Each structure stands twice: as C-alpha cells, then as structure tokens.
Structure 1
Amino acid sequence: MLQKIFAVAVFSMLACVHSVNAADVKLTDPNKMVRQVSDNTFARITKDQPIIVDNNEYLRVIVEEELMPYIDYKYAALRVLGSEVSKIRALTDEAEKAQAIKDIQRFIAVFRDYLVATYAGVFTQYTNQHVEFAPPQPFKGKDVVVIKTTIVENGKPDIRIDFKVRQDRDGNWRAYDMIAEGISLLDAKQSELQGMLRQQGIAHVSDLLEQKSQLPVQFRGNSAND
C-alpha cells in the first residue's frame, strides 16, 4: 500500500505538462519549483516513451537529469538516520569516529541511488492521473513550506498529497518529503529501517539499500518494502 501511495505522490509532481526549460526552474520560489520540475520531468518521459518502452533502465537517466537536482537527498538521508547521526558526537576514539563519518557519507550516496531506482520504478506505474495544485503558499521568512496537491482519478477517491520543501543556505528550495493522506513517506522509511540501524548498523543498511538500488527497473507492485 505504501508503494502505491508513494507512486501517486510522485505522479503529482509530474502531471501538469507545459514547455519549460530546465534552466528556467525557479529554485527561489518553492511553488514554481514544484510545478516546473513536474513539467520538465513528465515532458521528458512523454518525449522519450519509445526509448523507455524498449528499455526501462532509461528511466534512471531521466530521474538523474530531470528530478534529482531538485531533491534534497542529503537532508532526507540524515532524517532517515535520525539519532544514529548524533551518536557520532559521543565517540571519543578518533579512528572510530572517522569510520562512523565514512559510514554516514556512504549511506547518503547509497540512499541517493536508492531514490533514483525507486523513482524510476514508480514511473512505470503512470496511468495518466490528474493533479490539482492548491493556491501558492506564502514562503517569505520560512525555511520549510508545504505545497499541497490533490490527485484526481476517474472512479477512485481523491488523494491528498503534500510536498515538504526546504530552503538551503543559498536561498534555493528543494523537496525532501511527501505526505500522502497524512502519512510522511520519509517517516515511514525511517520507521522501517530504525530497528536495523540500531541492531545491525549503518553499513548493513547501506548494503541492503545498495542491493535494492541495483535491481532492474520494473513494475514494483504494491509492496510496502520496495
């Protein structure tokens, strides 16, 4: 069920198609950023359908070029790690601390690859959903803004999807979480992994996510653990 909701959440970034160049994405306005990234990404998927039909792996290229520049994957990865990051401060052995930092750096890189693979798999499930954007949200003086959308599909109940975007030190906005019908997908992933992180460590979880990210791009079904 979680995978299905996640798929619909991603679609809400991709359903309003206009011609917008990547260079025109307004990172200084979170409302425009979400809309323009959706336009660019879905336009690319539409244009390259002949390539995608022949090779689903090409979806990774589209995700890398059109979507990932606007995802704050580092912040998301650290949120998933949660208290594991703060434990480093308590380490007194320098060698142990250096290794812990390397483990976190690797986790961030692997988590990024995992997101690329996940998004690529999600895009195989597109069935032409319609998305309605709420009025633009005020963002002056804020560092986190929630962009609200509603997914409308014939014969099915509407689904509310909120995108959480944050401003970095340079004043640019990037998405880091999606809230589907009140469920934070980032919190869900943290809950899924926190037991493993606590019992088996960051390196083990990185290995697990790395294995998942290397699976062929294919229809993922409704598994909550994909």
Structure 2
Amino acid sequence: MKRILALLLASLLSLPALAQIDDSTPDGLIMGTVDQVLEIVRKDQSIVNDQQRLFKLVDACILPHFDFTRMTQLAVGRPWRSASNEQKAALTAEFRDLLVRTYTKTFSTYSEPKVDLKTVRAQTETEATVQTEIRIPDGRVVAVNYEMRKGAFGWKVFDVVVEGISLVTSYRNSFADQIQLDGIDGLIRSLAEKNQSARMTGKQSKVQSN
C-alpha cells in the first residue's frame, strides 16, 4: 500500500515556478499538477533521492491541493464529533505530517510514471471523482481515483483510492483501536511519536550521508 501510494506524490508534486495550473475543474487541477511533476522530475532527477528537499517541496506545493481536515475527520470517524477544536487541529496536523513523511520515503521507487486521465464522474456540482491510470516503468498499470470536493477555496482532494483501497479508510481501523484504548489524546500522542521518530531517523540519515 505504501509503495503504491507513493505514486500519489509522483503525480502531484509541482513547483510554483512552472505554468499556472487550471484549478477551475477537478481534472484540470489533477492533470495540470501531473504535467508539472513530470517536467520537474525530468529536469532534476536528484530530487527523488533527497528526502529533506522532497519533503519541503511536498509540504509547500502539494498540501494546498488537499483538504486534510476533511481527510482526518473521515479517518477518525465518529469520535471526531466529540473532539475539541484543539484536538481536531492537533489530529489534522499530525495526520498530515504522517502521510507526507510516510510516502515521501518511497517516492524514489518510481521514475517518471505515465499518468492518463480516464474519466471524471461528477456526483454534484461540488463533488467529483477524477479517475486516472498510472503506468509504472515495470509495466504495471495502477488505477488511482481522486475524490474531490469544491469549497470556498476551490477544488480539493479529500481521499485517494488506489486499486480500490481508500487512503482515508485504510487508517480508520487502527485509529479506532487507538482511540478505544487511549482516547483522542492517545491517538494524538501516538501520531506525534511516529512523526518525531521519522524526523530523528531523517536527521541521522542526513548526518551519515555527509
């Protein structure tokens, strides 16, 4: 699951210095960003092996296209309703950090994937599914669907479904177990510890490589 979802980053990484993305439609947002990532990776292959640089680019350029509050709400499920505003903010921040750190680690697995737009299914004027196929150099074809919603700040991704597996719901069971055991604060601590461990590992790797 982690390696397949690394394709999400491969297909969404972008730089503001490139052409402006047409974000007026859900498929325009997705495919415009895809075109940008493929261009930047072709121009600078070193980016895929530099975890710190990659993380900063993802944080600066990909995250604005995602509704992480909605993603966290869906992953946490019913307990979200009883969480305080402070707990919701902390959960969202830690979950966002976890996702980005987890999948940037596997980004280098894929080199210049080919992304094809298959279709766009509009449920309503403000909800749509962008269906794509990602062709990996080893010959595999992976179906990746982006669940999107239009709000005050335009179209945002709130879930990614890879080969029928939802990114959001894949975390729901583990989150539910953690909440049942230690409550909302316990889940926040658990996510924070994982993120801190990842940061320390990244620092150690950087020191060893110097």
Of 56, 64, 77, which aligns to 2:59?
Answer: 64
1:37 to 33, 36, 61: 33
CA RMSD of aligned residues (A): 2.8
Q: Structure 1-normalised TM-score?
A: 0.75
State the Cα distance separating 1:123 from its structure 2 match.
1.9
Secondary structure of the equivalent of 1:205? Answer: helix
Q: Which residue number in structure 2 is paired with residue 223 of structure 1?
A: none
Change (3 A) 1:22 1:113: farther
Please state if 1:208 is matched with 2:207. Answer: no
Percent of counterpart pairs with the same letter? 21
Look up the equivalent residue of 2:175 and give its one-letter code: L
The 8 Å contact of residues 85 and 104 in structure 1, kept in 2 or not, is answered as yes
Kept after mapping to 1: 8 A contact 2:11/2:37: no
| Structure with more strand by fraction | 2
Cα pair distance change 1:158/1:8, threshold 3 Å: same
- The residue that corresponds to 1:189 in the other structure is 171
Residues 45, 154 of structure 1: alpha-carbon distance in 2 compared, 3 angstrom cutoff: closer
State the secondary structure of the residue aligned to 1:25. coil
What does residue range 31-180 of structure 1 map to in structure 2 within 5 Å? Answer: 31-50=27-46, 53=49, 55-88=50-83, 100-135=84-119, 137=120, 139=122, 141-170=124-153, 172-180=154-162
Does the residue aligned with 1:160 lie in a helix, a strand or coil? strand
Distance between the aligned counterparts of 1:149 and 1:8, measured in 2?
11
Q: Of Structure 1 and Structure 2, which has the larger fraction of its residues in helix?
A: 2
Could you tell me how far apart the structure 2 residues matched to 1:122 and 1:51 are?
13
Change in 2 beyond 3 A, CA 1:183/1:35 = same
CA distance in 1, matches of 2:137, 2:91: 40
What secondary structure sits across from 1:26 in the alignment? Answer: coil
Comparing 79-88 with 3-12, greater Cα deviation is found at 3-12
Inter-CA distance 203–131: structure 2 relative to 1 (3 Å threshold): same
Deviation at 1:211, TM superposition (A): 2.7
Query: What is the CA-CA distance between 1:106 and the residue it aligns to?
Result: 0.9
Q: How many pairs align?
A: 200
CA distance in 1, matches of 2:16, 2:56: 19
Structure 1 Cα separation of the partners of residues 66 and 134 of structure 2: 21
Runs of at least 5 residues in structure 1 that lack an aligned partner in the other structure: 89-99, 219-226
| Corresponding residue to 1:24 among 17, 20, 32 | 20
Q: Specify the alignment match of 1:11 in structure 2.
A: 10
Q: Which of 1 and 2 has higher RCO (CA within 8 Å, sep 6+)?
A: 1
Conserved 8 A contact 1:120-1:217: no
